[in-house]
Structure 1
Amino acid sequence: MSSIHFFEKGSGQPVVLIHGFCEIGAMWEDFAQELSKDFRVLCPDLPGFGKTPLQKDHITLEEVAVLLEEWLEENSVENPILIGHSLGGYVSLAMLELMGSRLKGIGLFHSTAFADDEEKKAMRNRTIQFLKKFGAEKFVNSFVPPLFSEKHRIEFASEIEKATEQAGQSSLEGLIAFSEAMRDRKDRFEVLKNFHGPKLMIAGTEDGAVKIEASRQQKEAFTDYVELVGTGHMGMIEDKEKTFEIVRDFCTRI
């Protein structure tokens, strides 16, 4: 039996919303509520986040993909549409490589098919060192606010507080394990290009975690590509109504 904790709403075509690093499935509550009017929406906690335990100290994205594939089978989820935020996008791409045409479509929400470059790998290593030295709570409090565009941080102060509270449900072991997994992940741009189903990318022009230049380099691989002007890494909060309509339209057309 899978140890993946999740919640689901609605019925019909399955849509799986996969959260990012320092997040939990509950981040999608508003999206799930709206999408559930037309779809069966499932929102898992990745291992080491929320209520899903991390079974070992190290994990690869390929192993996460296998765990989620088993979880989908256990819950009779066939031909799902995957929408992944940041780390959730990396997981979705690993699942795409594993499941191929058994996926109905895929969406990257502030994410990338490229591997980390050397600068990003060095940043991951610094994150790991910080976590080992200072622990999860201090890291979470410093990590979450910069995910939002600087101009939005006062406007979305309560949302930032809620995101920080949810991030506090990340285990130290999970944060370290996924920092390593993200650092070491492979480039899956060709996997993405070779998938002939519908593909969505939502990018933020002020995203500090996934630079807009990198998103634009991948534009050709997607059937649907949208830029959110002035938005940081948290478009589902910073531009909730627009991003919801984008995702709903994408899923409806599939």
Structure 2
Amino acid sequence: MPHASPTLVFLHGFLESNEIWDDFLQDFPAEFQTLRPNLPGYGPDPAPSPNYSLEAAADYVQTQLQAAGVHQALLVGHSMGGYVALAFAEKFPAQVAGLCLFHSSALPDSEEDRERRQRNREFLEQHGVAAFTEEFLKPQFSAAHRESMEHHVEMLQRIGAAVPLATALGSMDAMAHRPDRRQVLEKATYPVLFIAGKDDKAVPLAKTHEESLLPDYSTVLWLANVGHLGFLERPADTRKAIEGFAELVFGK
């Protein structure tokens, strides 16, 4: 799928910012342009987002592409960033050259998931974002890495603690009420890459397996001893997979 200006858009997840991609994108092949916007309400100078939604975030990504003069891009979405990428693909399918769901899913929350999010919401309201990150982040790593990657845990806690409470609550509600977007995968006219951690509690392997059968063309990278943060837990392998996928998408 040739493209005049091959561009990858990296979308961060819940309580993250574009800083999560700093090390990951070092030495990324120069023939690719990379964009990594902070989603609405996130980053050092967050734009206000009183009505946070995945669809509004997708619209914001669209404005960023327009500003950069990019007409078509490969979207790489981590976790909630994958939900935004799917919302973008639903609204602007002609602008998607390829899609990578990086520990993410097109399925909606189950009733159990929504109940868990409600408990998390109540914790956020009572104790604040900083306290929540201390409880929330470490279990996202595989047990194989939790102690050895303490510096990464601290980085994510610092980034997460800076997220405004309104953004955290709005994001939580948006994720809890997101629709089933499996039809986006079924209708995809572009390749789809799934990156899945075998120890990921947030996106169980059964979900990824089910969804990987929906697109016309899909690839799955299964990673042992990886939880929900493969860009930190297995950076070389996940970056290599995305580079190879970009070469496929853009015909390099």
Answer yes or no: is the 8 Å Cα contact 2:193–2:220 preserved in 1.
Answer: yes
Q: Which moved more, 1:174-183 or 1:11-20?
A: 11-20
Q: Which moved more, 1:183-192 or 1:221-230?
A: 221-230
CA RMSD of aligned residues (A): 1.4
Superposition map of 1:84-233 within 5 A: 84-222=77-215, 223-233=218-228
Answer yes or no: is the 8 Å Cα contact 1:149–1:230 preserved in 2.
Answer: yes
Identity %: 32
Letter in 2 for 1:253: L
Q: Quick one: which of 226, 233, 236 aligns to 2:231?
A: 236
Distance 1:198 1:125, change over 3 A: same
In structure 2, distance between residues paired with 1:244 and 1:142: 28
More contact order relative to length (CA 8 Å, sep ≥ 6) = 2
Letter in 1 for 2:17: I
Letter in 2 for 1:166: I
Match of 2:75 in 1: 82
TM-score by length of 1: 0.92
In structure 2, distance between residues paired with 1:218 and 1:103: 18
Match of 2:42 in 1: 49
Answer yes or no: is the 8 Å Cα contact 1:101–1:195 preserved in 2.
Answer: no
Q: CA deviation at 1:221?
A: 2.4
Aligned residues: 244
User: Once the two structures are superposed, what CA deviation does each residue of 1:201-227 show, in whole Å capped at 9, x if it has no partner?
Assistant: 001110011111211111212411111
In structure 2, distance between residues paired with 1:122 and 1:148: 22
User: Once the two structures are superposed, what CA deviation does each residue of 1:180-203 show, in whole Å capped at 9, x if it has no partner?
Assistant: 000010010011110110111001
SS at match of 2:184: helix
Answer yes or no: is the 8 Å Cα contact 1:54–1:173 preserved in 2.
Answer: no
Answer yes or no: is the 8 Å Cα contact 1:46–1:52 preserved in 2.
Answer: no
Stretches of structure 2 that go unaligned for 5 or more consecutive residues are: none
Answer yes or no: is the 8 Å Cα contact 1:203–1:212 preserved in 2.
Answer: yes
SS at match of 1:66: helix
Q: Quick one: which of 30, 43, 54 aligns to 2:23?
A: 30
Match of 2:53 in 1: 60
Match of 1:4 in 2: none
Q: Quick one: which of 237, 244, 251 aligns to 1:249?
A: 244
SS at match of 2:70: coil
Match of 2:62 in 1: 69
Answer yes or no: is the 8 Å Cα contact 2:199–2:228 preserved in 1.
Answer: yes
Answer yes or no: is the 8 Å Cα contact 2:133–2:157 preserved in 1.
Answer: yes
Answer yes or no: is the 8 Å Cα contact 1:110–1:204 preserved in 2.
Answer: yes
Answer yes or no: is the 8 Å Cα contact 1:45–1:52 preserved in 2.
Answer: no
In structure 1, distance between residues paired with 2:214 and 2:11: 21
Letter in 1 for 2:37: P
Q: CA deviation at 1:36?
A: 4.8
Q: CA deviation at 1:66?
A: 1.2
Deviating runs (4+, > 3 A) in structure 1?
A: none
Q: CA deviation at 1:97?
A: 0.3
Match of 1:8 in 2: none
Stretches of structure 1 that go unaligned for 5 or more consecutive residues are: 1-10
In structure 2, distance between residues paired with 1:72 and 1:219: 27
Q: CA deviation at 1:126?
A: 1.0
Q: CA deviation at 1:14?
A: 0.9
Distance 1:52 1:90, change over 3 A: farther
TM-score by length of 2: 0.93
